[in-house]
């Protein structure tokens, strides 16, 4: 089974690229983030032509997540337990589904904006709620392959950014954020996309500005965390860096994991 995650940075702007990538990469399950559309506006009919069912969760212009599957979708859940919301508003940042016997959650962790900002505290509270949801999900079915995939907006280590000195006063690399990731891992999850891969620094995100992608000035913030039944079945994992190239690309690349179940 091939499972992937991809922050498409607007499904409307990236639909043709999505369809082309689905046809070329042939994932069985794809978790999407940053749809920037309402649930009912997701182009489910167009991906259905390629054999994929869709479970989407979007509230309009911002956020939005989805799971696409050609091995079935059941037990869909939109939102995490204890979601704190931001400024009393709901945000579409997580969706869970069971696909071909594997439980997946597509997550789009809040950016945080900058340390000290209210959005940064929201990010930390949101990660606490995600941890609680993971404990419930994995505790209820410990033998079922389970993974939480998506744009975490956190680089796990200094090696996961192109120059840590450029991030001294920034989010994505602070101790509280990384501690939240460690707590998530301590619930029985493993980062299943190891370094090194094909590239010494398998980044997943490159800013559109200042030639960041050609210069490989990126960050590894799109992650796949799986429980033991999931991690133990991984036969291959890679960042599809080629999909970041060319006109109309997202600023994120897909992350792909193959499982031998």
- The structural domains of the chain, with segments of one domain joined by +, span 2-259
Binding site feature residues for Mg(2+): 7, 34, 151, 153, 251-252
Q: Is 253 exposed, middle or buried (0-12, 13-18, 19+ CB in 10 A)?
A: buried
Residue 219 Cα distances to 30, 88, 110, 173, 216, angstroms:
21, 31, 16, 10, 9
Q: What is the pLDDT of residue 113?
A: 92
- Digit-coded pLDDT (tens) for 196-232: 555 566 899 999 999 999 999 999 999 999 999 999 9
- Digit-coded pLDDT (tens) for 80-111: 999 999 988 889 999 999 999 999 999 999 99
Domain 2-259: assigned CATH number: 3.60.10.10
Residue 139 Cα distances to 129, 131, 132, 224, angstroms:
15, 12, 11, 19
Helix (H) or strand (E) holding 13: helix 11-25
Q: What is the pLDDT of residue 201?
A: 66
Helix/strand/coil for 172: coil
Place of tokens 């997202």: 250
Structure tokens, 121: 């505290």
Q: What is the pLDDT of residue 199?
A: 55
Nearest to 55 by CA among 71, 44, 70, 41: 44
Percent of the chain with pLDDT over 90: 92
Question: What pTM, to 2 d.p., does this model score?
Answer: 0.96
Binding site feature residues: 7, 34, 151, 153, 251-252
- Mean pLDDT over all residues of the chain? 95
Helix (H) or strand (E) holding 33: strand 29-33
Cβ atoms of residues 53 and 70 within 8 Å: yes
- Digit-coded pLDDT (tens) for 34-67: 999 999 999 999 999 999 999 999 998 789 999 9
- Digit-coded pLDDT (tens) for 103-150: 999 999 999 999 999 999 999 999 999 999 999 999 999 999 999 999
Helix (H) or strand (E) holding 69: strand 65-69
pLDDT interval class at 16 (50, 70, 90): very high
Is residue 76 scored above 90 in pLDDT? yes
Helix/strand/coil for 31: strand
pLDDT interval class at 151 (50, 70, 90): very high
Work out the angle between the directed axes of helices 118-140 and 175-186 (0-180°, nearest 10).
Answer: 10
Q: What is the pLDDT of residue 139?
A: 94
Q: What are phi and psi of 68, to 5 degrees?
A: -110, 135
Positions annotated as catalytic residues are: 108, 151, 252
Q: Are strands 146-151 and 102-108 parallel, antiparallel or unpaired?
A: parallel
Structure tokens, 92: 């579409």
Q: Are strands 29-33 and 2-7 parallel, antiparallel or unpaired?
A: parallel
């Amino acid at each position: 089974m091939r499972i992937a995650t991809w922050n498409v940075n607007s499904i409307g702007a990236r639909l043709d690229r999505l369809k082309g990538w689905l046809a070329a990469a042939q994932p069985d399950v794809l978790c999407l983030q940053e749809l920037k559309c309402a649930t009912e506006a997701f182009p489910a009919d167009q991906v259905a032509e390629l054999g994929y069912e869709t479970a989407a969760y979007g509230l309009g212009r911002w956020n939005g997540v989805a799971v696409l599957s050609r091995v079935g979708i059941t037990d869909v859940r939109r939102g995490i337990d204890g979601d704190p919301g931001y400024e009393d508003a709901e945000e579409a940042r997580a969706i869970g589904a069971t696909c071909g016997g594997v439980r997946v959650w597509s997550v789009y962790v809040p950016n945080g904006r900058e340390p000290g900002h209210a959005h940064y505290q929201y990010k930390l509270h949101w990660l606490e709620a995600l941890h609680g949801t993971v404990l419930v999900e994995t505790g209820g079915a410990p033998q079922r392959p389970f993974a939480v995939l998506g744009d975490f907006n956190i680089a796990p280590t200094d090696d996961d950014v192109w120059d840590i000195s450029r991030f001294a006063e920034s989010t994505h690399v602070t101790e509280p954020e990384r501690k939240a990731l460690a707590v998530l891992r301590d619930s029985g999850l493993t980062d299943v996309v190891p370094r090194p891969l094909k590239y010494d620094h398998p980044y997943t995100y490159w800013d559109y500005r200042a030639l960041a992608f050609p210069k490989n000035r990126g960050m590894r913030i799109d992650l796949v965390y799986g429980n033991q039944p999931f991690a133990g079945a991984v036969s291959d994992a890679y960042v599809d860096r080629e999909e970041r190239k060319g006109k109309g690309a997202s600023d994120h690349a897909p992350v792909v994991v193959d499982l031998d179940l």
